[in-house]
Structure 1
């Protein structure tokens, strides 16, 4: 598993549908989106997180769940130690299929079922310190088994540890009562992008994603992107959503939000100038998009991360 990128390499020998990493952070973690599901267990310390769930304080006993292609950043309060489990989207769909095999006819039904019941891109669940303590030995072993990369002879043990962790956490996960609207699902809710493709990733989708990442400030249109990919607009939207879980312009919004957060952290430029640099000429619109992606306005994000606002930051 790795952060989202316009360019992907396929190395089936190194692929694993799940991996776990334990890290301690003392400095702000810039917002980043991954092409897999993330399950973040807070082991010690505390932090503020910024995502579509808003600004939330997390501590021991909390678990953060992030859908694929969902931006999330963090501001440790002194320090925070977490174990993050990265889960390939297709692998998760397979587990859902077998869990509900009596109700589902095929994997496409399982995908629809998952999108209908787990359509929230980000959420924080409180399992409590006692249950979190139960998870720690399993998380330690998962992380240890992930250090040397995938080992086929240990895969069943890795799965057993994962299922033990999920058995504790999943009952606390909030589910949705109905399917998200088509517009919401295509623009925000991931449509199962994956690190290793079961069929070749369309080069057109890769090309368009790289164009957007190389020049996010450009005023791209779907028509222009479709022409560069030599596809119709409807074809481009279909292959791009299949590859990255978002429509092209929604992906561009995510990239601009990520760049804007980086500039808020690393410069003292006013928000209006930063918005213009990443491609938003309307500062109010930029602020709304930023808040939608990270849960806070740009000025509040800068205040949380840097501790103060420049005089002209508004």
Structure 2
């Protein structure tokens, strides 16, 4: 039995950004929610779906799109066979970021944007039997690639198949009309990826980044860093953001968060001592910056890393 209590749900305990499974359902399934995006392709049979859109029938050629944490159940009419794509939420947000990179600042901005763009978390997409039939060989190969767990050697093939499927499906997805320009970007917060241009980096920006990487524990100020590379603070701020998509101090915060994460994973140093090792003197300040960059507190991060090591 799966973690959500559905006996027909496949084992999804092994982490992968994309998992595909095909199954036949012969009995009603109570509404359940997943912490991922789901695309459910109806291959045979029919059912009545129970979700935020109420009770609606689905049949061959239909695709059910469910956002993360969206309840959905089904009552098969005799039986229904489906292929389900489970897409990690962060992986989907990354795709949105790169799709709209000219208009977005970072992952957090992309997440907010995606929530507004795809404001209907439960949709039935009526591709039709012929259009959906084109997808079946790709879906079968996705299932074959993911059935034995994630394979780094076939990752790009899996992505190519997924993107081919999404290229057919996404024109049917209802989105909310949004007008965005680069000027509407939110201020960049710690974390990657940041929006960057493919252009040569100025030597001063590279030199400043090198100093921060080599000596992240120093009590750097923007004025001191600018003096070290022979620019004014305002000039350094401008060329550094153009090069790395973040201010020098935000870049330093990210470096320290990465170093602290490594210490939390690989050593038994007390958390406050580890914070000092990476250049943070105030535990409260460090915990706040680490959470902004990583998404969880240092204590929770250490707990999660150790739990993963015990699996």
Q: With structure 1 as the length reference, what TM-score do the two structures score? A: 0.53
Note closer, same or farther for the CA distance 1:98–1:178 as it changes in structure 2 (3 Å cut): closer
Distance in 1 separating the partners of 2:162 and 2:4? 23
Q: By how many angstroms is 1:110 displaced?
A: 1.1
Task: State the match for 1:297 in structure 2.
Answer: none
Q: Does 1:51 align with 2:57?
A: no
Task: State the match for 1:121 in structure 2.
Answer: 121
Deviations along 1:132-157, whole A, 9 cap, x unmatched? 00000000000111110111101111
Distance in 1 separating the partners of 2:25 and 2:109? 40
C-alpha contact (below 8 Å) 1:38/1:66 kept by paired residues = yes
C-alpha contact (below 8 Å) 1:4/1:69 kept by paired residues = no
Distance in 1 separating the partners of 2:96 and 2:117? 11
Task: State the match for 2:73 in structure 1.
Answer: 73
Task: State the match for 1:152 in structure 2.
Answer: 152
Which SS does the other structure have where 1:174 is aligned? coil
Residue-pair matches, total: 179
Note closer, same or farther for the CA distance 1:3–1:92 as it changes in structure 2 (3 Å cut): farther
Of structures 1 and 2, the larger Rg is shown by: 2
Distance in 2 separating the partners of 1:26 and 1:48? 12
Distance in 1 separating the partners of 2:26 and 2:4? 24
How large is the Cα RMSD of the aligned pairs?
A: 2.9
Which SS does the other structure have where 1:109 is aligned? helix
Task: State the match for 1:166 in structure 2.
Answer: 166
Task: State the match for 1:300 in structure 2.
Answer: none
Distance in 2 separating the partners of 1:4 and 1:70? 13
Note closer, same or farther for the CA distance 1:172–1:74 as it changes in structure 2 (3 Å cut): same
Q: By how many angstroms is 1:177 displaced?
A: 3.0
The within-5 A match list for 1:286-301 is: none
Task: State the match for 1:111 in structure 2.
Answer: 111
Task: State the match for 2:36 in structure 1.
Answer: 36
Deviations along 1:142-188, whole A, 9 cap, x unmatched? 01111101111011111011001100000000012369xxxxxxxxx
C-alpha contact (below 8 Å) 1:3/1:32 kept by paired residues = no
Note closer, same or farther for the CA distance 1:29–1:116 as it changes in structure 2 (3 Å cut): same
Which SS does the other structure have where 2:115 is aligned? helix
Deviations along 1:275-312, whole A, 9 cap, x unmatched? xxxxxxxxxxxxxxxxxxxxxxxxxxxxxxxxxxxxxx
The within-5 A match list for 1:180-199 is: none
Question: Gaps spanning 5+ residues in structure 2: where?
Answer: 6-12, 180-257, 262-291, 297-311
Q: By how many angstroms is 1:26 displaced?
A: 1.1
C-alpha contact (below 8 Å) 1:3/1:34 kept by paired residues = no
Larger relative contact order (CA 8 Å, sep ≥ 6): 1
Q: By how many angstroms is 1:121 displaced?
A: 1.8
Q: By how many angstroms is 1:4 displaced?
A: 6.0
Task: State the match for 1:140 in structure 2.
Answer: 140
Note closer, same or farther for the CA distance 1:3–1:100 as it changes in structure 2 (3 Å cut): farther
Q: By how many angstroms is 1:31 displaced?
A: 1.4
Question: Gaps spanning 5+ residues in structure 1: where?
Answer: 6-12, 180-197, 201-238, 244-314
Distance in 2 separating the partners of 1:170 and 1:55? 23
Note closer, same or farther for the CA distance 1:14–1:64 as it changes in structure 2 (3 Å cut): same
Distance in 2 separating the partners of 1:71 and 1:102? 33
Distance in 1 separating the partners of 2:83 and 2:154? 20
Task: State the match for 2:17 in structure 1.
Answer: 17
Task: State the match for 1:101 in structure 2.
Answer: 101
